[in-house]
Structures are given as structure tokens and as C-alpha cells.
Structure 1
Amino acid sequence: MSSFLKESFFQLSKREKLYAILAISLFFCFFMLFFQPFGVNNYDPKESITPGFALAIFSMGLYLGLLLVINEFLIFPLIFKGGILRWQILMWLIWSIIYIASALFLFYNILGEWHDFRLSSWLDFILNFGALAIIPLTAIFLYGRMRHVEQLTETAEDYHSDMNTIIHFPSDNQSNLHSYSLENILYLESEDNYVAIHFIHQGTFSKTLIRSTLKKIDDLNLHPELVRCHRSFIVNLGHLAKYDGNKQQGVIILQHGLTPIPVSKSYASNLVSRLR
């Protein structure tokens, strides 16, 4: 439960927030107008929809929209500067319900000439508004999850396309050029005056030696996925299964059950920042 609450939460864009605010305001207006819940019919004991009653409800809807705009576009950015975690969004929702329900309760009593301005009525209004908010909040949550899944799918597709990139390794012997698909490269290892390219070919592990040094290859910046982790190793992060360590040192575990690759202090900090 603790780890779940500490996970980052998907955020809507500004345009999506504006659409959500419009939808919530309209939902509130029509729900209050036709169902007249939470004692709203005290404003009109006959429970009929008169022009004055409809005008009062839609003015509350406009007021609700204004409250949401202030909450999401003025208050929210002041509190949350970067990413937001699940427990933080939970606290934000509790605050939003109390803040908006209280402001609406005050507005409702102004329209009704303070006919229901009591502590018990205020508490009931907050609880009832929170119950009503479950419907649009659930819709927004499901939409956010759908958008998040779409983004993950797009990222995975981009990653798959990126892994098909062809990497060319020049050697000191200018007549030789070794080319491999990025997805087949596992890691590079220094072997005296040579560099061993460990790769997958037709489902088996293979190795090719080229006359060069890791420093020369690293300086070429062939691809962001090929990262120096040790004076003797460059790894393909596309095959990373696990990293055990910190910003000082560690060990990289690649997929396919290969031998763990050490991460030295000189390269650990850069590697960790790349993994985040």
C-alpha cells in the first residue's frame, strides 16, 4: 500500500483540465436541476423547475467552474512544482472537495437568503458534494488511466523502432566497418588493443573483435542506449534487467542470464541518472 501511494500520478494537460472543468460544471448543473438533491429543493418547496430556480442553479454551475479554474490553475501550481505522487493527489482531492463544497454552500445560502446556514448543514453539504463528486472523478480517473496506457504504448513502439537502429563500429583498420542492429548488441568489452562486441545472432551469443578502444567508441556517442559503466565495459541499456547499487558503484544484470557487469565509481552517477 505504501509503495502504491508513492507512485507518480498521471496529470492532465491544461486543455484536458479545461474540458474536465466544463464537463463537471455542466454535470453539476443538470444533476442539481433535475434531481434537486441535498436539500436544494428547500429553495423551492414545490420542487418545480421555475426560470428563477434554473437561473440560480446555472449560476452555481458557473461559480463552480470559476472555483475549479482557480483551484487547478492558480493554487495547484503553487503547491506542486514538479511531478505528483498518488498520496499527494489524494490529499489534493480531499482539500478540493472541502474548499469547493464550502464555497458553494456559502453561495447557495446567499441565493436562499441564509435559510440553511447551519454547521450541520455545512457538514452535510460537504459529505453530499463529495458523494456527488465520485461520478465525475471516476470518469476523469478512467480517462487518465486510458491516456497513460496510450502514452506507455507509444513509448514502447518508439523504443522498439529505436532498437532497430543500425550501429556502425569503425575500427583502426579503416577498411573494416562492423554494423549491428542495436537490439542485438548486448555489451562491449575492452580486450587489450581490441574491443569485443558481444551480441545475439540467431538466438545464440556471439562475439566479434574489432581493433579499437572503448574510449574511441564512447567518444563517438553512437547511441544514447550505449552507456559506459566501467573502464572496460559499455552496456546496451535496452537489455538491462536490473541494476544493483547506487551512485557510487554497482552491478548491472543484463537479460538472458549473462555474467553481471561491474559499474565503477567514475561512471555510476551518470548511469543512475540515465536510468531515472
Structure 2
Amino acid sequence: MLNQPYPFREVTKRDSIGIVLAGLFVAGFLVFFQPFGIYQWNTECKVLKIAGYGLVTILVLLIDFYGIRLQWISFFNEKSWKVWKEIGWVVFILLSVTIGNYLYNMWILDTATFRFHNFLVTAITTFSIGIFPTTGFVLANYIVRLRHYSKPVEIHSPVYPEFSVVELIAENEKDRLIVKSSQLLYIESADNYCTVCIQTEGRITKELIRSSLTRLESQVSVSDIIRCHRSYIVNLEQVTRISGNAQGYKLHLLGLEETIPVARKYAKQVLEVLQKA
């Protein structure tokens, strides 16, 4: 299970809301219950100092998500994301929060001496609050999504008239690519360019065109050539079957070894088109 594909989620602005809520939860939990001997503290501004752990959580998570995760692209890659990576990421987050909490402890206690025993206590406290629910959620989410996306899907591929074409115009408004819709397999975004995959008489070729995927999407007038992922537009006429894993549905195209991913937000529309008679 640990080496199986796991749903990968891009960092978005909504994550900042979740980070703030996580910090508020930590602060509220510690202030209200005062576990791990906190109730024995005899200090000024006790509530504010306890709530400071929530602020530390927010600051550390902002660094983790918007610093490390967004910058380390080679590791945080959708195609290679596994269950063990997700769990490892959770453990890393908890460890980084532990370090932040320990440094905060040193500051409020006005001590510059590192004590391994105190650090270990801080780590146990942080992990005991977060490791079990988060790891349990990762595994439960994997099982639920795997069961959902592994169910067989019956499809009815549409058939286009031979004269139906797609015209793609580059950003310079001069370069263009005209291809029969029956020959187009998919379009994939690649930085400032898009790769157009075409199949002609059993031979697959790829053409580059300088444009964003969203711009090309607006130029496609064939109803069954649609967006299925943030990086893909796919020709559903060429889909022979659908498979799935915990990351979602995968489209198998005629004559193509690689599969095309379907993002969760596009899954319903893709299935509706493929299953219509």
C-alpha cells in the first residue's frame, strides 16, 4: 500500500485558510484543555503564551507549504506521488512544528541551552496530537478513493464526421496548426508551450505550439474534445477504456501506451460524455 499512487493536491490560496484554522485549533485546544502539564504553569500572560503555539504552527506551515513544497518541484510531483510520500510529508510537517515549538519554548522560558530531553518531550507532545489522526486520514482517504476509481466504467466513444477539424492558433496569431478531430489525441501544457499529440495512419507525432492550454481550450469547438486536467485537453473519441487508482481516473487512448489523467473536478463531465449513447 505504501508504494501505491496517492492523490496529489496543488498548493492553492485556500491552503492559507486551512493553515490559519489549524493554528487556531492548536491554540484553542491548548488553552482550553492545558494538557501535558501546561495547567501547572505559573507565569504572567499565561493564555497569550499558550496561544503562541498556534501562531508558531501557522508560521511553520506557511514555510512548509509556500516555501518548501512550492520550490521543491522535483519531489512534489503529481506523477510520482505515493502513499509513503504523503505520510512522510505529514511526518515532516509535524517535525518542523516540533522544532518551531521547541524554539518557542526556549524563548518564553528565556533559556539558550538545548536540552535533548526537553526537545524529546516537545516532539512527543506534538506527534501525539497530530500523527495518529493525520496518518489515519491518509490511509482512509487512499482506500476510499481507490474503491471509487477502481470500479469498472462502461463507455460509448463518440464518432465524428471526417471533415471535423480543430484549428489551433499560437500567441503570435501567425503560427497555427490545423488537424482533423479524428486524428487529435490530446494537448498537453509544457511551460509556455503546448504539445499537440496527433495520430495519422497509426503513426504518432507531436507538435509544439506557443500558447497556454487555457487559450487553446477556447479555440476548440468540437464538444467532445475537452479539458480533463489542469495540464491536458483530451479527445474522448480516442478513449478505448478507463482505469483508475487512488489518484483518480486514467484514460487509455487508441494506439497510445501512456495514460491521460483525469482531475477530480473534470471527472463528472468526462464520464457524462463517454457514457452517452
- TM-score, normalized by length of structure 2? 0.52
Q: Is the 8 A contact 1:29 1:57 kept in 2?
A: yes
* Partner residue in 2 for 1:65: 58
Offset of residue 169 of structure 1: 3.2
Note the alpha carbon deviations across 1:150-188, whole angstroms, 9 max, x for none: x97xxx9xx97xx67551136xxxxxx9xxxxxxxxxxx
1:55 equivalent among 29, 48, 52:
48
**Structure 1 residues 105 and 43, CA gap change in structure 2 (3 angstroms):** farther
Structure 2: 5+ residue stretches without partners: 165-178, 186-197, 204-235, 244-251, 262-277
Q: Determine which structure has greater relative contact order: mean sequence separation of CA pairs < 8 Å that are 6+ residues apart, divided by chain length.
A: 2
Letter in 2 for 1:168: P
Question: How much does 1:24 deviate?
Answer: 0.8
Question: Residue 25 and residue 229 in structure 1: after superposition, are their counterparts in 2 closer, same or farther (change >3 A)?
Answer: farther
Larger Rg over CA atoms: 1
Which range is displaced more, 27-36 or 127-136? 127-136
1:76 maps onto 2:69 in alignment: yes
Distance 1:135 1:56, change over 3 A: farther
Contact 2:94–2:126 (8 Å) recurs in 1: yes
The answer on whether the counterparts of 2:27 and 2:53 sit within 8 Å (CA) in structure 1 is yes
* Aligned counterparts of 1:119 and 1:138: Cα–Cα separation in 2: 26
Instruction: Give 5+ residue unaligned stretches, structure 1.
Output: 45-49, 171-176, 178-218, 243-252, 255-260, 264-270
**Which residue pairs with 1:239 in the alignment?**
240
Aligned to 1:128: 125
Q: Over aligned residue pairs, what C-alpha RMSD do you find?
A: 4.5
Letter in 1 for 2:257: V
Partner Cα distance (1:229, 1:123) in 2: 65
Cα contact 2:106–2:112 (8 A) shared by 1: yes
The one of 4, 7, 19 aligned to 2:5: 7
**Residue in 1 aligned with 2:160?**
167
Q: CA deviation at 1:127?
A: 1.7
Q: Give the TM-score taking structure 1 as reference length.
A: 0.52
Count of residues in Structure 1 that have an aligned counterpart in Structure 2: 189
Structure 2 counterparts to residues 80-159 of structure 1, below 5 A: 80-81=73-74, 82-83=77-78, 84-114=81-111, 118-134=115-131, 137=134, 141=138
Residue in structure 1 matched with residue 180 of structure 2 by the alignment: 220
The answer on whether the counterparts of 1:29 and 1:60 sit within 8 Å (CA) in structure 2 is yes
Counterpart of 1:18?
A: 16
Distance 1:90 1:43 in 2: 34
Which residue type is aligned with residue 239 of structure 1?
T
